[in-house]
Amino acid sequence: MTGSGSPHPWLGPDEAAPVALTVNGTALEVRVPPRRTLADALRDAGCTSVRLGCEHGVCGTCTILLDGSAVRSCLMLAVQGQGHHIETVESLAGGDGLGPLQQAFDDNDALQCGFCTPGFLMLIESLMRSEPGAGEERVREVVSSNLCRCTGGGPVVAAAQQALASNRDGR
Amino acid sequence: MKPAPFAYAAAGTLDEAVELLGEAGEDAKLLAGGQSLLPLLSFRLARPSHIVDIGAVEDLDSIHEDHGQLRVGALVRHATLEQADLHGPWRALKEAASLIGHLPIRVRGTLGGSLAHADPAGELGVVAAALDAEIVLRSVRGLRTVPAGAFFLAPLMTAADADEVLVEARFPAPGDGFRSVFEEFSPRAGDFAYASVAAGCRMADDGSAHDVRLALGSVGPTPLRAREAEEALSGSMLDDAAIVEGARLAAAGCDPAAGDWHAGGEYRRALVANLVERALRRLRQPA
Amino acid sequence: MSGPRSRLIGSPEPRRKNRELLRGEGTYVADIRLEGQLHARVVRSPAAHGRLLGVDTSEALGIPGVVAALTAADIDDIRIPIRLPFAESPEANRVLQAPLATDVVRYVGEPVAVVVADDPYAAEDAAEHVLVDIDELEPVLDLAASSESSQPLVHEHFGSNTVNRLAYRYGDAAAVFEQADVVVHRRLRVHRLAAAPMETRGLVADFDPASGVLTVWGGAKVKHFTRGLLSTVLGLEPTDVRVIEVEVGGGFGTRGEPYPEDILVALLAQRLQRPVQWIEDRWEHMVATNHAREQEHDIEMAADRDGRLLGFRVRGWCDHGAYVRTQGLLPAVLPMFHLPGPYQWQAFSMDLDAVLTNRTPVGTYRGPGMTEATFIRERMVDLVAAELQMDPVQLRRRNLIAEESMPFTFMPGPGSGAVMPIMYQGGDFPAAFDELLDAAGYDQLRDWRREARSGGRHAGVGVSAYIEFAAVGPFEDVDIVGDDQGVVIKAAVGSLGQGIETALAQIAAELLDVPLDDVAVEFHDTAELPQGFGAFASRSTVLAGNAIAAAVDEMRAKAAHLLGCAPGEVEFRGGVATGGDRGSVRLAEIGPTRGRFEKEGLTASFGGAVCSVSVDPADGRVRVHRFALAHDVGRAVNPRLLRGQLAGAAAQGIGGALFEELAFDGNGQPLSVTLADYMMPTAAELPDVEVAIIEHGSGSNPLGIKGGGEAGMVGSFGAVANGVADAVGEGAEVLSSSVSPARIWHALNDPSEPAGTGKPAQEA
């Protein structure tokens, strides 16, 4: 099944292999079989802020940053993460406080049950880095990438705008 | 909702990719950005025996013009296309890319993956059909090109053989003054479109439209060209009467069958007429 | 009393927990990893109806990593009971669900076996290798036709597809209809919906053979009922079952009820003596977790020429799906209680059937029954207004029950079944309605509509008014424990993300006059809590809040006894009770004190919604531009949290009207099993929601609180549908609560097509 005799490095269906990731600036090696998703591998490694809401790429609760851009970690195999930089919500604030974006969520009541929150935070974090000048329409469009069943997402748009604005003022 | 087991190998080069694919047999799948494949794996609707990951293969991610033709590498991300400096004849490509799913999907999803997935709702396939793109396929046997019109065979089925890697889409040089646009209707932001249209034409100095192209998505088993409408519109001034007639012909010529429970066939036909009208009105506006 | 007291009840305090949740530190059930934990996967029926000829797990047991498999043959013959006495009937008790199907499968997704492995991937592999042999039968799918003799039976032994017919008669409907100037008759449908919280269901169970204690994590909402049920099924003492609530990713009524999986996972943990985790995936969620709302109503409404609403007669079919679940007959009972609404009817007559079909069982979803009933009644009121050529707002205004008529009762008359009377304790409905119109800027919306129409757009304004019954008893206990850090409130209600811990802390802090930060609220672990009933029917703040007040009174009595003064002389401040010149005693020294709040009947609240919409006739797309709602909460404990609850519920309701639907094909196969197909709204499709909080007090509890967690949903379907109807005018009739693009396009262009009728769409 693994192409016996092949000169190529096939990984067998349930053969675990080491995958070297950088998670929030720290090297992390996970041992995974090829079919394990990146989301599951991160959760197994203790990054439980990466949450699974649908496992088919629609809800966005598993959104992380991959090399600085927001991606759905349920739509990647862990083996695809080899050599890449991953950021999760744990990277947003040091100590036991809140970063400015998290504070904007708090100020705007942009969370209720909190399940979708880490995914939204990473989604908006990537927008703040790539498009610091994003206007209301663009913010709304990007926020619509993820689902929030408690607030509907309107307060998330407000929080994102506040964070973008204070980012601009602060620079 | 976890994928079934498969063997896996990551290719470092294109040569390695085609060798791996050649070894892996009929039930192998290529993995690029994974934005279409991963949901199929998770629902276990796809159960490949082997997956060849071409995500790290170099030199497949460029967009460049070459003697007037546009060459887009298979690993060009939708987000890159969306941001690229594409105007005039290639505008439809940029607009279509911006409508694929949501931003995090576009960050990962690739042109090659989208074309190879051959979902009739796939935006880039519709543009490829409209612009008569040539799909470049590579295997251990060598390179061949297949015109978009012959590439898409059925939902999720293409003319690519099991051992072939889609490496590039080539969009032939259009005539001077050719321009294109893309329009779709989706119920929510980022949803699969109920209907979509890629439209293009060359505007002559007297305001008449030539070489009119209309390709339709989500209203047939593959992207469809609305040939009758194209013929009727070619040479016209894209006046209101011509546009309405073109839209009617396009709607009549598409093949949505009964549609699905979200959007029935008649509704999709009506959407096609509406979108074709909108696209043609945009084409006739000065660039 | 002397000195300024902290005013915390009514203060927009920030919600507790936010910091933890924003840092991604909340522990949800899937985050629990116990040593040696196994993973369960449920094998589900692929057929909507069929004889179950065999379930063979032998092949699955051979898969590497697989530890065990259960079928119905391996467990006792048990049924999951109804947890609400007033929603039970002898008939309903004959169509309850077993944890695993035995001889017949009755919906796609019904559990037929469960496998356990050391990894979730392996468990899913194994589930595929369980061979399920089914001889398919014709399914029952149509509500109104379900009772026809040609139809197969969902439960052969029961002999009918109608569980019960509920009847409520008030006044002489026949006489009223005879004297009416105008009678409007329609058949309206409410489409099938899922609450679909972002977190699917999940459980972890762990049995400790040494102590004999079973611990279950994940069961929120009705912890004590779950504990009782599991102790019965597993043969344990209730005190040997601990149900621990962890962070919950949205509840909305469907999450936290005891389901087949709760029993299976607990049984497996007990038998295997290893921790077992089960996390529902999204496909499972869409077929296994309670569905909601689907109903069909044949209704006529009578009025006189002057715009007086006289009466209505309704024959309705309320789907319960394949089994009656823990909420019993509520899917039929609640619409009945909410159909009359806030108007002064002279008579009405309601016959509602609780119907069985071969689809996922139906339970309650935020604003249950009331959302459906409000759509039905309010759509009809608009149709009557059109018939009378009267402004729909004027028609409503004229018929609202006046304040001087309060308390008001529609006493059930002859011909009624065994029903509770529909009773409104108080409130000024006309004044509240005016507040709604003010908050919405109704006059400006009408101006906007006029302008948009003159520009050729299809613009409309929709209004709905409603009564919400909430805050059901029977009682809730609260313990207050003083300690060195302050006070701990122990309550058995639950947190579903609604902020209950903040609201209860505010009540306790004000009544005991301690800093808010010194109040801790515990509601997680049944082993630590007094008896309670849980978080549903917008009852948590009302019941537990008043129980806190009762406990504080009890503390006052205890302190008075200790200090030798009269209770009236006791003052609380900063963790100390002072009795005039008799000295003081620390709360910690008073000892744990229990308060109970008992409540009979339900509390009625008035509310309404107004929205402006536009419709594009070319593609059927409906846009909701503005949405305002008003709801009488009696007294707002925390207006900030309430606004979040009300606006969030409205967003959910607007999305439900615009996009969401659980559809089935003609074989009973579910079609909305992905989140690409079950289309929940995003920020791009939703308007900002304006909320007017009305505080008309309530005679039924000392703190004057009414429910508020669900109410934003209640008026949404009615307002959106009326707005769409107003926008399309003569062009089409809006007869379904779904106003999806396809439905509206068909209604405008091709009414013969099934879309637009509210019938479940048939796959091509």
The distance of A54 to chain B (nearest Cα, Å) reads 9
Say whether both A108 and A160 belong to one domain: yes
Choose, out of B102, B105, B188, B191, the residue to mutate when testing the contact with A (most A CBs < 10 Å).
Answer: B102
Q: In this predicted model, what pLDDT tens digit does every residue of C174-210 receive, in sequence order? A: 999 999 999 999 999 999 999 999 999 999 999 999 9
The distance of A111 to chain B (nearest Cα, Å) reads 21
* Residues C310-341: b if buried by 16+ CB within 10 A, e if exposed: bbbbbbbbbbbbbbbbbbbbbbbbbbbbbbbb
The dotted CATH code for B63-171 is 3.30.465.10
Q: List, as ranges, residues 309-368 from C with C-beta within 8 Å of A.
A: none
Residue among A34, A126, A127 minimizing CB distance to B7: A34
CA distance C359 to C287: 8
A130, part of any domain:
yes
Residue type, B177: G
Q: Do C683 and A144 touch (CB under 8 A)?
A: yes
Query: What was the pLDDT predicted at C3?
Result: 43
The dotted CATH code for B7-53 is 3.30.43.10
Name every residue whose Cβ is closer than 8 Å to that of residue C573 and which is 6 or more positions away in sequence. Answer: C3, C513, C514
Q: In what order do the strands lie in the sheet with C50-56?
A: C104-105, C50-56, C131-136
Pairing assessment for the beta strands C603-616 and B69-73 based on DSSP bridges:
unpaired
HSE-CB at C470 with a 13 A cutoff on CA atoms is 35
| Residue C497's pLDDT band (cuts 50, 70, 90) | low
Q: In this predicted model, what pLDDT tens digit does every residue of C504-556 receive, in sequence order? A: 999 999 999 999 999 999 888 888 887 788 877 788 888 999 999 999 999 99
Here the tokens at position B106 are 């576009």
Query: What was the pLDDT predicted at C222?
Result: 87
Is residue C94 within 8 A of residue C81, CB to CB? The reply is no
Query: What was the pLDDT predicted at A168?
Result: 86
The distance of B62 to chain A (nearest Cα, Å) reads 19
CB atoms within 10 A of CB C220: 27
CA distance B221 to C325: 42
Which has the higher per-residue pLDDT, A1 or C46? C46
The distance of B166 to chain A (nearest Cα, Å) reads 19
Residue of C760, C742, C762 lying closest to C751 (CA atoms)? C742
Task: Name the packing angle between helices A154-169 and C639-658 (round to 10°).
Answer: 120
Residue type, B247: A
Question: Which of A53, A71, A91 marks a domain boundary?
Answer: A91
CB atoms within 10 A of CB C414: 6
A23, part of any domain:
yes
The distance of B240 to chain A (nearest Cα, Å) reads 31
Query: What was the pLDDT predicted at A2?
Result: 42
Beta-strand (E) ranges in chain A? Answer: 17-23, 26-32, 63-66, 69-72, 85-87
- pLDDT of C111 higher than 50: yes
- Our CA angle for C690, C696, C701, nearest 5°, is 120
A7, part of any domain:
no
A104, part of any domain:
yes
| Residue C2's pLDDT band (cuts 50, 70, 90) | very low
**What average pLDDT does this structure show over C687-694?**
94
CA distance B277 to B136: 32
Choose, out of A35, A66, A125, the residue to mutate when testing the contact with B (most B CBs < 10 Å).
Answer: A35
CA distance B263 to C671: 13
Query: What was the pLDDT predicted at C751?
Result: 67
| Residue C759's pLDDT band (cuts 50, 70, 90) | very low
Say whether both A116 and A71 belong to one domain: no
Query: What was the pLDDT predicted at C473?
Result: 81
Nearest-10 Cα torsion for B88, B94, B99, B101: 170
Choose, out of A138, A141, A150, A161, the residue to mutate when testing the contact with C (most C CBs < 10 Å).
Answer: A150
- pLDDT of C59 higher than 90: yes
**What average pLDDT does this structure show over A100-127?**
97
Residue of A nearest to B36 (CA): A75
The verdict on C390 touching A (C-beta cutoff 8 Å) is no
Q: Do C250 and A115 touch (CB under 8 A)?
A: yes
Residue among C282, C671, C674 minimizing CB distance to B261: C671
The verdict on A75 touching C (C-beta cutoff 8 Å) is no
Percent of chain C with pLDDT over 90: 85
Question: Which of A91, A115, A134 marks a domain boundary?
Answer: A91
Of C40-49, C99-108, C724-733, least confident by mean pLDDT is C724-733
* B7-53 and B178-284: identical CATH topology: no
Query: What was the pLDDT predicted at C1?
Result: 39
The verdict on A72 touching C (C-beta cutoff 8 Å) is no
Residue of B52, B2, B10 lying closest to B27 (CA atoms)? B52
Domain that holds residue A111: 100-169
Query: What was the pLDDT predicted at A135?
Result: 96
Residue of C121, C131, C138 lying closest to C57 (CA atoms)? C131
Query: What was the pLDDT predicted at C715?
Result: 98
φ and ψ of C301, to 5 deg: -130, 135
- What separation in angstroms does the CA of A64 have from each of A23, B68, B77? 10, 39, 18
CA distance B35 to A72: 9
CA distance C635 to C283: 41
Q: In this predicted model, what pLDDT tens digit does every residue of B56-89 receive, in sequence order? A: 999 999 999 999 999 999 999 999 999 999 999 9
| Residue C762's pLDDT band (cuts 50, 70, 90) | very low
Neighbours of chain B (3+ CB pairs under 8 A): A, C
Query: What was the pLDDT predicted at C173?
Result: 98
**What average pLDDT does this structure show over A51-56?**
98
- pLDDT of C760 higher than 50: no
Residue among A58, A147, A150 minimizing CB distance to C497: A150
- pLDDT of A132 higher than 70: yes
| Radius of gyration of chain A from its Cα atoms, rounded to whole angstroms | 18
Name every residue whose Cβ is closer than 8 Å to that of residue B285 and which is 6 or more positions away in sequence. Answer: none
Percent of chain B with pLDDT over 90: 96
Say whether both A21 and A69 belong to one domain: yes
Classify residue C664 as exposed, middle or buried by CB count within 10 Å of its CB (0-12, 13-18, 19+): buried
Say whether both A110 and A76 belong to one domain: no
Within 8 A of B188 by CB-CB distance, chain C residues are: 659, 679, 681-682, 684-685
Pairing assessment for the beta strands C689-694 and C621-632 based on DSSP bridges:
parallel
**What average pLDDT does this structure show over C225-247?**
93
**What average pLDDT does this structure show over A103-126?**
97
Percent of chain B with pLDDT over 70: 100
**What average pLDDT does this structure show over C746-758?**
64
Name every residue whose Cβ is closer than 8 Å to that of residue B190 and which is 6 or more positions away in sequence. Answer: A144, A145, B101, B102, B105, C682
- pLDDT of B271 higher than 90: yes
* DSSP letters spanning C440-465: HTHHHHHHHHHHHHHTT-EEEEEEEE
* DSSP letters spanning C616-634: ETTTTEEEEEEEEEEEE-S
* Coil/strand/helix, residue B132: coil
Cis status, amide bond into B89, omega within 30 of 0: no
Within 8 A of C23 by CB-CB distance, chain A residues are: 49, 89-90, 92-93, 96, 98, 102
Query: What was the pLDDT predicted at C697?
Result: 77
Query: What domains does chain C contain, in order, with CATH numbers?
Result: 18-26+474-598 (3.30.365.10), 36-137+201-279 (3.90.1170.50), 295-471+602-749 (3.30.365.10)
Query: What was the pLDDT predicted at C708?
Result: 84
Nearest-10 Cα torsion for C560, C561, C562, C565: 50
With tokens 């309320």, the residue in question is: C318
- pLDDT of C754 higher than 80: no
Mean pLDDT of chain C: 93
**Count of domains forming chain A:** 2
Q: List, as ranges, residues 121-140 from A with C-beta within 8 Å of C.
A: 121, 140
The domain that contains A140 carries what CATH number? 1.10.150.120
| Residue C387's pLDDT band (cuts 50, 70, 90) | very high
Of A157-171, C237-251, C518-532, least confident by mean pLDDT is C518-532
* Residues A110-148: b if buried by 16+ CB within 10 A, e if exposed: bbbbbbbbbbbbbbbbbbbebeeebeeeebbbbbbbbbb
Q: In this predicted model, what pLDDT tens digit does every residue of C163-173 receive, in sequence order? A: 999 999 999 99
**What average pLDDT does this structure show over C87-110?**
97
Within 8 A of A119 by CB-CB distance, chain B residues are: none
Task: Name the packing angle between helices C500-512 and C540-563 (round to 10°).
Answer: 30
- pLDDT of C262 higher than 60: yes
SS (H, E, C) C480-541: EEEECCEEEEEECCCCCCCCHHHHHHHHHHHHHCCCHHHEEEECCEHHHCCCCCCCCCCCHH
CA distance B157 to C518: 65
Residue of A nearest to C709 (CA): A150
The percent of chain A in helix, strand and coil, each rounded to the nearest 5, is 35, 15, 45
Q: Do A34 and B51 touch (CB under 8 A)?
A: yes
Choose, out of B45, B197, B261, the residue to mutate when testing the contact with C (most C CBs < 10 Å).
Answer: B261
CA distance C62 to A125: 47
Query: What was the pLDDT predicted at A7?
Result: 62
The domain that contains A65 carries what CATH number? 3.10.20.30
SS (H, E, C) C23-55: CCCCCEHHHCCCCCCEEEEEEECCCCCEEEEEE
Residue of B nearest to A6 (CA): B23
- pLDDT of A8 higher than 80: no
Is residue C575 within 8 A of residue C484, CB to CB? The reply is no
The dotted CATH code for B178-284 is 3.30.390.50
A43, part of any domain:
yes
| Residue C5's pLDDT band (cuts 50, 70, 90) | low
With tokens 């209704």, the residue in question is: C299
Residue type, B223: P
The distance of A170 to chain C (nearest Cα, Å) reads 22
Query: What was the pLDDT predicted at C540?
Result: 85
Q: Do C651 and A111 touch (CB under 8 A)?
A: no
Size of the B and C interface in Cβ pairs below 8 Å: 80
What are the residue ranges spanned by the domains of chain B? 7-53, 63-171, 178-284
Within 8 A of B185 by CB-CB distance, chain C residues are: 619, 621, 741
Here the tokens at position C137 are 């039968």
Neighbours of chain A (3+ CB pairs under 8 A): B, C
Choose, out of B38, B262, B271, the residue to mutate when testing the contact with C (most C CBs < 10 Å).
Answer: B262
**What average pLDDT does this structure show over C430-453?**
97
Q: Do C198 and A156 touch (CB under 8 A)?
A: no
* Coil/strand/helix, residue B107: helix
- What separation in angstroms does the CA of C215 have from each of B94, C200, C434? 55, 20, 51
Query: What was the pLDDT predicted at A170?
Result: 74
Residue among A89, A118, A152 minimizing CB distance to C686: A152
Residue among B5, B43, B107 minimizing CB distance to A35: B5
Q: In this predicted model, what pLDDT tens digit does every residue of C308-325 receive, in sequence order? A: 999 999 999 999 999 999
CA distance B97 to B94: 5
Residue among C200, C648, C655 minimizing CB distance to A112: C648
Cis status, amide bond into C474, omega within 30 of 0: yes
Within 8 A of A37 by CB-CB distance, chain B residues are: 2-3, 38, 42
A12, part of any domain:
no
Q: How many residues does chain A have?
A: 171
CA distance C631 to B89: 55
Question: Which of A33, A58, A91 marks a domain boundary?
Answer: A91
φ and ψ of C162, to 5 deg: -105, 115
- pLDDT of C664 higher than 90: yes
- What separation in angstroms does the CA of C601 have from each of C334, C539, C710? 13, 12, 18
Query: What was the pLDDT predicted at C696?
Result: 86
Is residue B245 within 8 A of residue B209, CB to CB? The reply is no
Within 8 A of A5 by CB-CB distance, chain B residues are: none
- pLDDT of C758 higher than 60: no
Query: What was the pLDDT predicted at C560?
Result: 95
The verdict on A12 touching C (C-beta cutoff 8 Å) is no
Residue among C282, C676, C740 minimizing CB distance to B1: C282
Residue among B9, B34, B51 minimizing CB distance to A9: B9
Say whether both A105 and A84 belong to one domain: no
CA distance B214 to C210: 74
Choose, out of C124, C141, C762, the residue to mutate when testing the contact with B (most B CBs < 10 Å).
Answer: C124
